[in-house]
Amino acid sequence: MQEKTQGRGVWSTKAGFILAAAGSAIGLGNIWRFPYVTGQNGGAAFVLIYILCVICIGLPVMIAELSIGRRSQLNPVGAFRKLAPGSPWVAVGMIGVATGIGILSYYSVVAGWTVGYFFKTVAGDFSRFITSDTSGQIFNSFVRNPTAAIGFLFLFLVLTAAVVMGGVAKGIERWSRILMPALFILLILLTIRSVTLPNAGEGLSFYLKPDFSKITAGTIGKALGQALFSLSLGMGAMITYGSYIARKENIPVAAGYVCLFDTLIAIIAGLMTFPALFAMGLRPDASGPGLVFVLLPTIFAKMPGGFIFGAGFFLLLTLAALTSTISLLEVAVSYMVDEWKWKRLRAVVLMSGLAFIIGIPSALSQGASQWLSSLPLVHLSFLDLANVLLGNYSLTVGAFLIAIFVAYKWGIKSTRQEIEAEGNVFHFGRIWSFLIRFICPVAILIIFIYIIITGDFF
């Protein structure tokens, strides 16, 4: 990224931007969240709805967010203020900033587990004879230890803060170039091992043969939430990243690539997970947030050189999580730097400190504190509750409002002008405008009403 005169960067190349946006999108959402949410929500039918949500809602909203960002050249709050002066629309930006810090808090807890698992693998904690039972015990005693849970949360936030301090660009663009392909190759290798395990067929059919009787209002809401979470939409991350794209770039093409890569990685992560899960005798709906952490060591144990694969995988996953937390933190930081004229250093320290404090209850909610592990009324852990409220509902409300804003406030015409700047062609522009005006808002509204009527919130 080169610095422009007013101090706002621009991604140095088109590939650079796609890599950075893909870096934000691809992370724990694909490899940790997608498999366990799919497992809890019935498998193949959920995956189909998920893909539908990516195409009909995710992609159009991503185009909308990137356009808002590039037009305004600002953080989400400033962007709404600039495009709709004196209106309450700035609130959408503010909700986005708050949601970003909230997601950062519990996301960093799970990213901390990844760091911990890297060290555990290197230390030789997983023997070649590990079973799903012993692996489950190792996971439980790890996350139950408050010092480790909080320590790794802290460590991960320090890493995130260090990168964001130096300005987003330099790091991400360069890292993503090596990181993404490496992660992809490793995922493919693990998938090959997983699908060739004995009894893999049962897992494949759970993952690929839809059973629509398992679909409820809540399932559809979770598929949509997962799509938005995985694509980093609904809280302004893509507005912020869009503010760094040069005007000569074609936004819809870039958005298309990001959605494609992100979805591909999630689908492959599922293909890696379910055959192994059934082969190891685990139940897809019972494991929750611990799923991949329990499962992966058992796959590594069954690979020649599994130690190397294991260490490599957790290292790459840590870096993939880092390119996502960078974007979560950057939203709040760019807001404070632009709007409050804070120094970058101050904004970074305060916001990552805040995420650390809010992250503590999530870190303690996996067994360290009984109360936080199963909250009264909802019977969810604090981490699960944050994950549903912020990672699903807050992003869904955000995406709904962004679609309404672009379609009816800023306007289809102005958006298209921005997209078609400098002679860019907007392929499928009419389909996009249909989706953003009608399908996105109406579908989200129907899903919400359906969830409220059936009371299927969690």
Which residues form the interface with ligand PHE (CB under 6 A)?
A: 24-25, 27-30, 103, 229-230, 232, 235, 237, 324, 327-328
**What separation in angstroms does the CA of 404 have from each of 65, 412, 432, 433?**
12, 10, 13, 11
If the CB atoms of residues 100 and 367 are measured against ligand PHE, the closer one turns out to be 100
If the CB atoms of residues 238 and 447 are measured against ligand PHE, the closer one turns out to be 238
Residues 6+ apart with CB under 8 A from 20: 11, 168, 169, 172, 173, 176, 241, 244, 323
In 196-290, where does DSSP find H-type helix? 200-208, 217-230, 237-242, 251-279
Least separation in angstroms between residue 26's CB and ligand PHE is 6
If the CB atoms of residues 191 and 324 are measured against ligand PHE, the closer one turns out to be 324
Least separation in angstroms between residue 29's CB and ligand PHE is 2
If the CB atoms of residues 78 and 391 are measured against ligand PHE, the closer one turns out to be 391
If the CB atoms of residues 111 and 282 are measured against ligand PHE, the closer one turns out to be 111
Name the residue whose CB lies closest to ligand PHE: 29
Least separation in angstroms between residue 147's CB and ligand PHE is 26
Q: CA angle, corner 280, sides to 279 and 284, nearest 5?
A: 85
Packing angle, helices 90-122 and 344-363, rounded to 10: 70
Q: Phi and psi of 245, rounded to 5°?
A: -85, 140
Least separation in angstroms between residue 28's CB and ligand PHE is 5
Least separation in angstroms between residue 30's CB and ligand PHE is 5
Quick one: residue 428, left, alpha or beta (phi over 0 = left, psi -120 to 50 = alpha)? left
Least separation in angstroms between residue 156's CB and ligand PHE is 13
Q: For the residues of 9-49, what is the DSSP string, one character each?
A: EE-SSHHHHHHHHHHHHSSHIIIIIHHHHHHHTTTHHHHHH
If the CB atoms of residues 298 and 362 are measured against ligand PHE, the closer one turns out to be 362
Least separation in angstroms between residue 149's CB and ligand PHE is 19
If the CB atoms of residues 241 and 356 are measured against ligand PHE, the closer one turns out to be 241
- Give me Rg for the CA atoms of the chain: 21
Q: Are 362 and 386 in contact (CB under 8 A)?
A: yes
Site of tokens 């249909």: 434
